[in-house]
């Protein structure tokens, strides 16, 4: 976005006020806040003298919660009331917890909306509330450091967060009292910091392997414009999964069952995390956990064994990399460099696999923990108005196609995946039946051709459509995706002006494998989907013809048709109905449809002549022209 400061010639410019703005990296494991001082973006240090704030909240029955390191230190002794990795639960349903957050040492209950609630002594707490408490702590830290109230923040989210997860993040910010300037995709934020620091133009890959999510984005940086060419990822894959795999190995080695106490599970996960971090530089790390009957289990984990354990997780990150390259129409040879983001990229084997995949050494000279917050701070400084002459433009994309249901259970895509946002797309539709005065709008997300194979986002109704013949109404449906990736849909009947709209706020998001499955299925079943779509479209066209012919026979059949003509039309009509009911042979349905059209063509022409004559009868030429 280019903003100009304009003044009259010779007029003295008033000293522009500096607005207080920060960028927040709301992470699964740790969160950071950064700001721009004297033209330089830097992360802010908290009261404990650390740049990182652990994304952990401890709740009490009789006092406010505590956030950060103090809460993290209490996790072992108070596991049920100390919540970590809440980001992995944002926008999720209770049914998703088994796949997206298994092995979490909490007790869950279900809300009316389907959102999981964590049982604590302070009551049932939602993941949105936990995230809001973290954001509030970061806000207070920033305001104390900057000496005033914040004018705005940019909060980063994984590129593959769906609409529900983005909305949950924005709800958490609102609960914390923050004015959100933008939700910015984490890889894009990293590219902002990297591109401005290096001034390097070309095509870059941002490989973002954090505590709870994985994203890969391919970006082109040219003349101050960041264009996201493609994005892919897994919003339920991260360092937590690495810890879980190591923890399961430790539990197996120490003969610990799945029914161990919450506090013991916390200790095992903590030991797994410690081992993971130590093996970044060490070849072997000693382990110690409390075994069965209070005994102490002692063991060791080598780097080679650790790498074997996590190899499947690393390979899972490379599948989205292949998809992103394919979507961008590029090969690994077209990539200028690979930027590593997220704490999990410190693992040596991760760096080796990424280097082998892209055929070049990844960039590791940027602090993978801080770069996202720094990029968010730079963007916040621009959006709040502190850099009115800055010419940097961010062109982000949506990860999955958006569309709506049409007759026959088909999906009409209005916004294809990897479309640059913000975006507005509109398309006109019409009514199916004569006299139809309402229309149900069903909004969907996914890559397949049929409604049954896509995810439902929302439904709403457009009422008050003037009664007209089928196909006469003009209904414009508009999809608007804002810069945060949030969707709103409106529908308007153009002749009358009646309108209805909805902001898409689903109660929970996609499960762990759904995004990957949506995209892989769209390729695997592409040919079959096209056949199904043609069949459904033919069924809809034939249903329209049957309804129109039956209406015409009821209105004008006796007066305009001979007995033989009536028999022929009814026979063709019944033949089409019969093949319609079978609903499988598209060639047979089309043949019967075409035969009925040919059989009724003379009848249709006669009806048109008669009704035109009736409409013009007794009118002067001037009246007709008027």
Tell me the catalytic residues: 25, 87, 186, 208
CA distance 343 to 341: 7
| Positive or negative torsion for Cα 121, 123, 126, 132 | negative
The phi and psi torsions of 16 (rounded to 5 degrees) equal -75, 135
Token representation of residue 457: 């986002």
Element containing residue 167 per DSSP (H, E): helix 163-176
Q: 587: which residues sit within 8 A by CB, 6+ positions away?
A: none
Q: Rg of the chain over CA atoms, in angstroms?
A: 30
Distance of CA 571 to the CA centre of its chain: 51
The phi and psi torsions of 586 (rounded to 5 degrees) equal -65, -35
Residue appearing with tokens 């494998």: 513
CA distance 363 to 345: 11
Token representation of residue 362: 């990844």
Could you give the count of Cα atoms lying within 13 Å of 317 in the half-sphere of its Cβ?
32
Q: By CB neighbour count within 10 A (0-12 exposed, 13-18 middle, 19+ buried), where does 421 fall? A: buried
Distance of CA 24 to the CA centre of its chain: 19
Give strand pairing partners of 153: 22, 180
The phi and psi torsions of 58 (rounded to 5 degrees) equal -110, 130
């Amino acid at each position: 976005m280019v903003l100009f400061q304009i003044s009259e010639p010779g007029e003295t410019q008033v000293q522009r006020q500096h607005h207080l703005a920060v960028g927040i990296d709301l992470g699964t494991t740790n969160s950071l806040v950064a700001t721009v001082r004297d033209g330089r973006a830097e992360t802010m240090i908290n009261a404990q003298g650390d740049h990182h704030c652990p994304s952990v909240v401890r709740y009490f029955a009789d006092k406010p919660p505590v956030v950060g390191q103090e809460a993290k230190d209490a996790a072992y002794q108070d596991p049920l009331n100390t919540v970590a990795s809440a980001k992995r639960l944002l926008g999720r349903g209770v049914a998703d917890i088994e796949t997206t957050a298994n092995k979490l040492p909490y007790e869950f209950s279900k809300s009316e909306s389907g959102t999981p609630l964590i049982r604590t002594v302070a009551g049932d707490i939602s993941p949105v509330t936990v995230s809001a408490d973290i954001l509030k702590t970061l806000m207070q830290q920033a305001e104390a450091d900057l000496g005033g109230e914040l004018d705005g923040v940019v909060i980063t989210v994984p590129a593959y967060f769906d609409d529900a997860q983005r909305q949950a993040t924005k709800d958490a910010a609102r609960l914390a009292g923050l004015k959100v300037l933008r939700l910015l995709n984490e890889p894009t934020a990293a590219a902002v910091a990297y591109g401005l620091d290096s001034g390097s133009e070309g095509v870059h890959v941002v490989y973002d392997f954090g505590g709870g999510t994985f994203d890969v984005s391919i970006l082109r940086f040219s003349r101050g414009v960041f264009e996201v060419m493609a994005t892919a990822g897994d919003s339920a894959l991260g360092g937590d999964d690495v810890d879980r795999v190591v923890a399961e190995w430790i539990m197996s080695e120490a003969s610990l069952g799945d029914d161990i106490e919450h506090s013991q599970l916390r200790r095992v996960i903590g030991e797994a995390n410690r081992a993971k971090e130590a093996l970044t530089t060490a070849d072997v790390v000693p382990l110690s956990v409390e075994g069965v009957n209070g005994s102490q289990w002692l063991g060791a984990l080598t780097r080679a064994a650790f790498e074997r354990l996590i190899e499947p997780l690393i390979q899972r990150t490379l599948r989205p990399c292949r998809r992103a390259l394919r979507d961008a129409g590029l090969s690994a040879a077209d990539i200028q460099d690979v930027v590593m983001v997220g704490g999990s990229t410190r693992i040596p084997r991760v760096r080796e696999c990424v280097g082998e995949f892209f055929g070049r050494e990844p960039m590791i000279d940027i602090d993978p923990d801080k770069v996202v917050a720094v990029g968010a701070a730079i963007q916040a400084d621009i959006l709040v108005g502190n850099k009115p002459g800055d010419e940097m433009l961010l062109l982000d994309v949506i990860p999955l196609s958006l569309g709506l249901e049409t007759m026959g259970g088909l999906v009409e895509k209005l916004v294809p995946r990897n479309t640059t946002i913000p975006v507005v797309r509109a398309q006109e539709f019409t009514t199916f039946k004569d006299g139809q005065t309402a229309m149900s709008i069903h909004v969907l997300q996914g890559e397949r051709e049929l409604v049954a194979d896509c995810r439902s986002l929302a439904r709403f109704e457009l009422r008050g459509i003037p009664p007209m013949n089928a196909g006469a109404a003009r209904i414009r449906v508009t999809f608007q995706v804002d810069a945060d990736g949030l969707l709103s849909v409106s529908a308007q009947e153009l002749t009358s002006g009646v309108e209805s709209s909805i902001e898409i706020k689903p109660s929970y998001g996609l499960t762990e494998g759904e995004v990957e499955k949506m995209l892989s299925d769209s390729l695997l079943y592409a040919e079959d989907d096209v056949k199904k779509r043609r069949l459904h479209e033919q069924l809809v066209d034939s249903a329209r013809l049957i309804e129109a012919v039956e209406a015409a026979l009821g209105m004008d059949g006796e007066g305009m048709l001979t007995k033989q003509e009536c028999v022929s039309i009814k026979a063709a009509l019944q033949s089409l109905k019969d093949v319609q009911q079978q609903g499988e042979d598209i060639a047979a349905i089309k043949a019967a449809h075409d035969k009925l059209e040919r059989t009724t063509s003379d009848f249709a022409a006669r009806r048109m002549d008669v009704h035109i004559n009736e409409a013009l009868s007794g009118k002067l030429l001037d009246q007709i022209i008027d």
